[in-house]
Structure 1
Amino acid sequence: MTDYSTEVLLDIAKRAALKAGAAVLEIYDSGDYESYAKADESPVTSADYHANEIIMDMLRTETPDIPIMSEETKQGTLADRAHWQRYWLIDPIDGTQEFIARSGDFAVNIALIENNMPKIGVIFWPPGQSLYYASKGKGAYKESPEGTERISVRKLDKPEDSVVIIAISRRQSREKVFSRMSAKRVYQTLPLGSCSLKACFIAEGKADVFMRLGVTGEWDTGASQCIVTEAGGKILAADFEPLTYNQRNSVENPDFVVLGDQRVDWRDIVQYH
């Protein structure tokens, strides 16, 4: 296996995300795309497939010996994947439903998984022209028209009783979310679309917590987990167990939570049971 440096791999992932994101934004602005329903009835569009092709082509050209797992390709069985020491994990458009609904809350996700943990994470938000990225041990960053900045989770003035900002789906029941949160705290909500954008907003300090209830894939959390962790937060299964990558036949995630300030006793706030 070629010994690529982390810096080279991060640069490849950033360029792939930007190229795919630009193509997706052009399609989004034109409105010229087709929508389909997958076997599980989740939506997919010709824009997802086009972005997937762009990313796959670039990764295969520049890192031909690194396997790729994508939401829009067949994942194979665990036996097929078990020998992968590192691989690319991509979601060409996270938030396809938001893309179709024209909320602007969709993103391109690219992660590099090494030894079953995210090592590189890149998330590009085309309508916001914002590129979030991180590599293990190097911090988390955001590039936008305003420049490049290192980002970190919001530090609550009083971790034990400050107002907690919940990133919440535009299409998820508020009652369902609040039923899982302790009544002992005061909350504000920040409505957003895709899972990865909620995670990025927590990473840059605009929200504190997000709970995802429902079916997602490992590609929905790989890039986010690297970015949030490097920003000082965590992504865990909703029962506070670690998420796993490429260790089960199924590539579906359990319900999960994105957590900001680690001084907060999140187990006392997020009541999953």
Structure 2
Amino acid sequence: MFPADLRVCLDAAIEAAVTAGRAIMDVYAASAYGVELKSDNSPLTEADRAAHSVIMNILEQTPYSVLSEEGRSIPYTERRGWNPLWIVDPLDGTKEFIKRNGEFTVNIALIHDHEPVCGVVFAPVARELFFAAAGVGSFRVDNPSSTAHGELCRKGLRLPLAGRGEDALVIMGSRSHSSPEFAAFVEKVREERGKVEIVPAGSSLKICRVAEGAADMYPRLGPTMEWDIAAGHAIVKFAGKKITSWKTGDELRYNKEDLLNPWFLVQ
């Protein structure tokens, strides 16, 4: 059974994502901002910290625990009993943030029984808001003026949108994480299907483009963590599409003992 307060949680997630987006933009708009390195040498910015603080302040008002990159060291023996739980990435696409190309997002998902039951993805530069939940559906809202999902549903676009009417198969690719395996996959699809268009993008926007119907698929043939994709998975799921394991074809699950995702395909 889904959490009884699912729609209340959706409103909280939207408020957290949009408010965190404002905090990120305060840093992004500054003439200079600090960049540090995490222990794995990936960049950590002032914006990460500001967004994380905003999100925690809002989600801590709900009864559910929060798992994010900052909590990756929490023992599985502790978090395996978190059900439901939030899975959060305060700034997905930090490299895109540093490159200043605008392709970064705030990702917030609510997980129940290892599956996403609601999710929010917000792109602060483009002011694109994607949100979804069981019993609600999946939506995109441009320039949101509210954080109440009911009002946003009336103003937004239900996903997926109408078909593109094009003959080329559109495959999303990572802006910063290409691989030989991805190139081989694209070549195989091109041989089978003919015309193929590759569209690069950063962060979970790649998943959202498949959800809205702007792209046909997104293969991720490289490492990602649960917080990178949980929110996007909800957007895809409630738009009638799937994220499945490259190896087994099973839909991905969350709050696993190992927080690393397998290679996957969104379609």
1:40 CA drift (Å):
1.8
User: Counterparts of 1:154 and 1:80 in 2: how far apart (Å)?
Assistant: 44
**2:140 aligns to what?**
142
**Residue of structure 1 in register with 2:40 after alignment:** 40
Equivalent in the alignment of 1:220: 228
Matched AA of 1:126: P
- Higher helix fraction (1 or 2): 2
Describe how 1:1-273 pairs up with structure 2 within 5 A: 5-60=5-60, 62-63=61-62, 65-145=63-143, 147-152=155-160, 155=163, 162-173=167-178, 176-181=181-186, 182=188, 183-185=191-193, 186-194=195-203, 196-239=204-247, 240-248=249-257, 250-259=258-267
| RMSD over equivalenced CA pairs, Å | 2.0
Q: Once the two structures are superposed, what CA deviation does each residue of 1:69-122 show, in whole Å capped at 9, x if it has no partner?
A: 011234412111111111111000010000001110000000000111101100
1 CA distance for matches of 2:242 and 2:141? 21
Structure 2: tracts of 5 or more residues without a match? 145-154
Q: Does the aligned pair in 1 maintain the 2:66–2:87 contact within 8 Å?
A: yes
Check the 8 A contact 2:96/2:104 in 1, yes or no: yes
Stretches of structure 1 that go unaligned for 5 or more consecutive residues are 260-273
CA distance in 2, matches of 1:173, 1:75: 28
CA, structure 1 residues 15+189, in 2 after alignment: closer, same or farther (shift >3 Å)? same
Structure 2-normalised TM-score?
0.87
Which deviations, in whole Å up to 9, do the C-alpha atoms of 1:168-188 show, x marking residues without a partner?
122344764230232212211
Identify which range, 69-78 or 229-238, moves more after superposition: 69-78
Return the letter of the residue paired with 1:243. Answer: L
What residue identity is the alignment partner of 1:169?
A: S
Give the direction of change, closer, same or farther, for the CA distance of 1:207–1:115 in structure 2 (3 Å limit): same
Percent of matched pairs sharing the same residue:
38
How has the CA–CA distance of structure 1 residues 82 and 205 changed in structure 2, closer, same or farther, with 3 Å as cutoff? same
- Give the paired residue count: 250
Mapped to 2, the partners of 1:92 and 1:36 lie a distance apart of 16
TM-score after normalising by structure 1? 0.85
1: distance between equivalents of 2:176 and 2:228?
Answer: 17
Listed one character per residue, the Cα deviations across residues 213-268 of structure 1 (whole Å, up to 9, x for unaligned) are 222110111111111011121111222232121132x2111112211xxxxxxxxx
Which consecutive segments of 4 or more residues in structure 1 shift more than 4 A?
Answer: 153-158
